[in-house]
Chains A and B, each alone.
Chain A
Amino acid sequence: MADAIDAEGLIKRFGAVTALDGLDLTVRTGEVHGFLGPNGAGKTTTIRVLLGLMRADGGSARLLDGDPWADATALHRRLAYVPGDVTFWPNLTGGEVIDLLGRLRGGLDTARRKRLIERFELDPRKKGRAYSKGNRQKVALIAALASDVELLILDEPTSGLDPLMEEVFRETILEEKRRGDRTVLLSSHILSEVEALCDRLTIIRAGRTVETGTLDDLRHLTRTTIRAELTGPVNGLAGIAGVHDLTTADGRVSFDVDADALEPALKSLVAAGVRSLVSQPPSLEELFLRHYTGEPVR
Chain B
Amino acid sequence: MTGTGQLLRLVLRRDRGVMPLWVFGIGILPLVYLQGFDTLFTTAPERIAYARVSAANTGFVALYGPLHGDSVGELVVWRGGFVPVMIALAALLTVLRHTRADEEAGRTELIRAGVTGRFAPLAAAVLATVLGCTVMGVIVAVTLIGQGLPAAGAVALGAVFAGSGWVFAGVGAVAAQISDSARGGRTIAVLVLGVSYVLRLGGDISAMGDGRLDWLSWLSPLGWVQRVFPFGADDWWPLALTVVVAAAAVGGGAFLLTRRDIGGGLLAGRLGPATASAALGSPLGLAWRLHRGLLFGWTAGFAALGLIFGGVGSSVVQLAEDSPGVSEMFTRIGGTEAISGAYFTTAAQLSGLIIACYAVQAALRIRDEEQNGHAEALLGTDVSRWAWGFGHLVFALIGPAVALFAEGLLAGLTFGDLGQVLETTMAQVPAVWVLAGVTVLLIGAVPKLSAAAWAVTATALLIMLVGPLLRVDQWVLDLSPFTHVSHGLTVAPMLSLTLIAAVLGGAGLFALRRRDVPV
> Which residues of A are interface residues toward B (Cβ below 8 A)?
48, 51, 53-55, 72-73, 76-77, 79-81, 83, 85-93, 95-101, 103-106, 123-127, 129-130, 140, 153
Q: CB distance B275 to A76 under 8 Å?
A: no
Q: For residue B372, which residues in chain A have a CB less than 8 angstroms away from its CB?
A: 87
Q: For residue A92, which residues in chain B have a CB less than 8 angstroms away from its CB?
A: 272, 280, 289
What 9 A-B pairs are tightest by C-beta distance, nearest first?
Answer: A81-B380, A99-B276, A103-B281, A93-B272, A104-B381, A95-B274, A125-B271, A54-B516, A96-B276
* Residue with the highest number of chain A CB atoms closer than 10 Å, among B181, B183, B276: B276
Which of A53, A98, A126 has a CB less than 8 Å from the CB of B376? A53
Q: CB distance A88 to B374 under 8 Å?
A: yes
Beyond A91-B289, A106-B382, whether A125 also contacts B376 by CB under 8 A is no
Q: For residue A153, which residues in chain B have a CB less than 8 angstroms away from its CB?
A: 380
Which of A54, A83, A89, A99 has a CB less than 8 Å from the CB of B380? A83
Q: CB distance B282 to A104 under 8 Å?
A: yes
Beyond A53-B380, A140-B377, whether A96 also contacts B272 by CB under 8 A is yes
Q: Mark B343-382, 1 if CB is under 8 A from A, else 0.
A: 0000000000000000000000000000011101111111
Q: For residue B270, which residues in chain A have a CB less than 8 angstroms away from its CB?
A: 127
Closest chain A CB from B275 CB (angstroms): 5
Closest chain A CB from B301 CB (angstroms): 20
Beyond A51-B380, A55-B516, whether A86 also contacts B272 by CB under 8 A is no
Q: CB distance B382 to A129 under 8 Å?
A: no
Q: For residue B183, which residues in chain A have a CB less than 8 angstroms away from its CB?
A: 90
Q: CB distance A93 to B271 under 8 Å?
A: yes
B254 within 8 A of A: no
Closest to A47 in B: B380
B45 within 8 A of A: no
Beyond A89-B290, A99-B276, A104-B282, whether A130 also contacts B381 by CB under 8 A is no
Q: CB distance B271 to A96 under 8 Å?
A: no
Beyond A87-B372, A125-B274, A127-B272, whether A81 also contacts B377 by CB under 8 A is yes
Q: CB distance B382 to A85 under 8 Å?
A: no
| Bound complex: CA A55 to CA B60 (Å) | 53
Q: CB distance A96 to B273 under 8 Å?
A: yes
B180 within 8 A of A: yes
B517 within 8 A of A: yes
Q: CB distance A93 to B269 under 8 Å?
A: no
Beyond A85-B373, A100-B276, whether A90 also contacts B516 by CB under 8 A is no
Q: CB distance A105 to B272 under 8 Å?
A: no
Q: For residue A73, which residues in chain B have a CB less than 8 angstroms away from its CB?
A: 382-384
Q: CB distance B274 to A124 under 8 Å?
A: yes
Q: CB distance A87 to B289 under 8 Å?
A: no
Closest chain A CB from B134 CB (angstroms): 35
Q: CB distance B374 to A89 under 8 Å?
A: yes
| Bound complex: CA A91 to CA B287 (Å) | 12
19 pairs of residues in contact across A and B, judged by CB atoms under 8 Å: A51-B380, A53-B380, A79-B380, A83-B373, A86-B373, A90-B183, A91-B293, A93-B271, A95-B272, A96-B272, A96-B275, A96-B280, A97-B276, A98-B276, A104-B381, A105-B382, A125-B273, A126-B271, A140-B377
Beyond A73-B382, A100-B280, A129-B181, whether A87 also contacts B274 by CB under 8 A is no
